[in-house]
Amino acid sequence: MSQFAVRARRWVPRPLRVLRNRWSGSLQVRVVASTLFVSIFVVALTGTLLVNRIKTGLLDTKVEASVAEATAGINAAQQLADSSDLTQQPGAGQLIDQIATELSNRAGSPPLYDVLLLASPGTGTIAVPERRSGAIEESSIPDSLKATVEKEKALANSFTQIRYADGSAGPGVAVGAPLVIPNLGTYDLFYVFSTANEQRTLALVQSSVILSSLILVLLLGAIVWFLTRLVLKPVRTAADVAQRLASGRLEERMRVRGEDELARLASAFNSMAGNIKQQIRQLEALSRIQRRFVADVSHELRTPLTTIRMATDVIYESKDELDPTTKRSVELLSEQLDRFEDLFTELLEISRFDSGQAILDADAIDIRVLTRAIVENTEPLARSHGTHITIDEPDDPCLAEMDGLRVERVLRNLVVNAIEHGNGQPITVSIGCDEDAVAVSVRDRGVGLRPGESSLVFNRFWRSDPSRARTVGGSGLGLSIALEDARLHGGWLEAWGEPAHGAVFRLTLPRKVGEVLQGSPLPL
C-alpha cells in the first residue's frame, strides 16, 4: 500500500471505516442493506400513490356532496326570492333575513355548512347589508372564487381556509353562485363546507400507511437476514475450514447434511481437501527427496571440486612456462571453474530457501557504511567499464536490524548488475531512511527494461537478452537470491525501467525485523 493511501485512510472517520469494513467484509450485510434500500423505495412509492389516491377520493367525494347540497340550497333560495312579495324597499331586509334563515335551518344541527349572502358589486337601488350564519368571516371566501362567480354568473367551487371570528381556522370547500332577487338586484350566495373530518381521516390513513410500511420493511429485513444467515452459514463454515486447511490442519472437513446443493458443496469441498492433502503429502515427499539429493550431490561434489581446484591452481601458477595454446586453455579452465563454484554456491543457497532452512542473523547496522564499502569494492570493475558511481546519502545514521552478509550480497548484486548493463553511463546509489524503514536504490542509465520485465528479472535463470555477452557472473540466480534475502528480512526488492533509459532497483528493509512495511523512504 502506498504512503498516500495510508495517509488517506487515517483521515477517514472511524465510524465510516467500520461501516466500510462491514460492507466489504460481509455478504449478508450487503444483501440485507440492498433489500432494505429497495424495499424502502418500493414501499415509499406505493404508500405515496395510495395516500394520494385516497386523498383525491375523499376530497372529490366531499366536493361533489358540497356542490350537490349547495345547488339544492341555491335553487331553494331562488324559488323563495321569486315567490316572495317582500321585494320592495321596506321589505328588502326582511326578505334577505328570511333567505339566510331558511338556508341556515337547512344546515341542520350541528350545521353541515355556513352561508354567506353578499351583495354583488354594483347591485342596484337598494343597499342591504350582508348576511352570514355562525361566526364565519368573509375572508373565508377566496377572491378568485368571488371573481369567478361574478364573471361567469354560474355556480363555482374552490378549496379554502375557513376563518372564524374567534381567530380559529380550518380547511374547507367554498361553493358560490349568483342569487337574483327581483327589484333588488344580484347577490352572491356562498356555501362553506368544513373538510376537517376528511383531513382527520386522511391523517389517520397516512399514519397507518407509514406505520404499516415501517413494520413491513422491518419484517422484510428480518426475513432476509434470517434467510441469508441460513444460506450463508455453510459458506462461512467452508471459509473457516479453508482457513484451517491453509494453516496446515489438513484433516479438517465439512459436515455433510442432507442431499441438497449445500450438501453437494460440502462433499465437493471435502473431496477437494482430500486431493489437496494428497498432493501436499506428495510434494513434501518430493521436497524431502530433493533436499536429500541436493545434500548428497553437494557432499559428493565438494571433494572432487576441491581436488580440481587445487590441481587447477597448481597448473595456473605455472602457466607462464606453458605454450600459448595450453596457457590459454588453463586460463579458460580457471575462469569456468570460478563460474562453476559460484553456480554451485548459489544453487545451495536456493535449496536452503526452498527448504525453509535459511537463517537470519540480524544485528543493528548502518546501511550507509555497508553501501559505501560495496561501492569501494566494486570501483575497479566500474573503472574497467568507464562508469562513475555517485552515492547520495543522508547525514544522519540509517540504522536497522539486518543480516549484514545477506544485505551486502543483495547490494553487491545490484551494483554489479548496474555496472554491467549501464553502458558506461553514470550510476547513482541513493540511501534513505525514515522512522519505519531504510532503503537503497541503484539507478543506471543503460539498456533499461522493457514493459513487463520489472517482475521477470527476479525469476530464476531469466535473462533479458540471452545472446548478450556477460563478463561477470551469469548464472541468472543473483536477483532471485537477492529477492529471497529481502523477503527474509520482511522487506521489498523492486525494479523499474524503460528501454534505453536505464533501470532502478530499490531495496527497502524495516527498521526492526518482524515489522510490516507501509512504504519506502525512496521513490521508485
Residues β-bridged to residue 518: none
pTM: 0.49
Same fold, 9-234 and 363-510: no
Among the four given CATH numbers 3.30.590.10, 3.30.420.40, 3.30.565.10, 3.40.50.300, the one describing domain 363-510: 3.30.565.10
pLDDT along the chain (524 residues), means of 10: 47 68 74 86 89 88 89 85 63 72 78 82 54 79 87 88 85 88 79 87 89 89 85 78 79 78 80 84 80 71 81 84 86 84 76 74 91 92 92 91 91 92 91 92 90 82 57 66 89 90 92 88 88
Question: Cα torsion at 475, 476, 477, 483 (round to 10°)?
Answer: 150
261 contacts 269 by C-beta, under 8 angstroms? no
The Cβ-side half-sphere exposure at 277, using a 13 Å CA radius, reads 15
**Residue 258: what residue type?**
G
The residues spanned by each domain of the chain are 9-234, 261-355, 363-510
Non-local (6+) Cβ contacts of 31 within 8 A are 224, 228
Strands 437-444 and 502-510: antiparallel
The separation between CA 460 and the C-alpha centre of its own chain, rounded to angstroms, equals: 38
Q: Tell me the angle at which helices 196-246 and 261-317 cross, rounded to the nearest 10 degrees.
A: 40
Q: End-to-end alpha-carbon separation of the chain, Å? A: 14
- Taking the C-alpha atoms of residue 284 and residue 115, their distance in angstroms, rounded to an integer, is 102
**Architecture field, domain 261-355:** Orthogonal Bundle (1.10)
Q: Cα dihedral sign for 233, 236, 242, 244?
A: negative
Rounded Cα–Cα distance for residues 344 and 515 (Å)? 33
Q: Report pLDDT for 92.
A: 60
Helix (H) or strand (E) holding 114: strand 113-119
**CATH code linked to domain 9-234:** 3.30.450.20
Residue with C-alpha cell 575497479? 380
Indicate the SS3 state at residue 81. helix
| Matching residue, cell 475450514 | 241
3-state secondary structure of 208: helix
Q: How far does CA 493 lie from the centroid of its chain?
A: 30
How far is it, in rounded angstroms, from Cα 76 to Cα 80? 6
- The per-residue pLDDT for 3 is 47
Written as nine digits, the cell of 382 is 566500474
**Burial of residue 99, with CB atoms counted within 10 A of its CB: 0-12 exposed, 13-18 middle, 19 or more buried:** buried
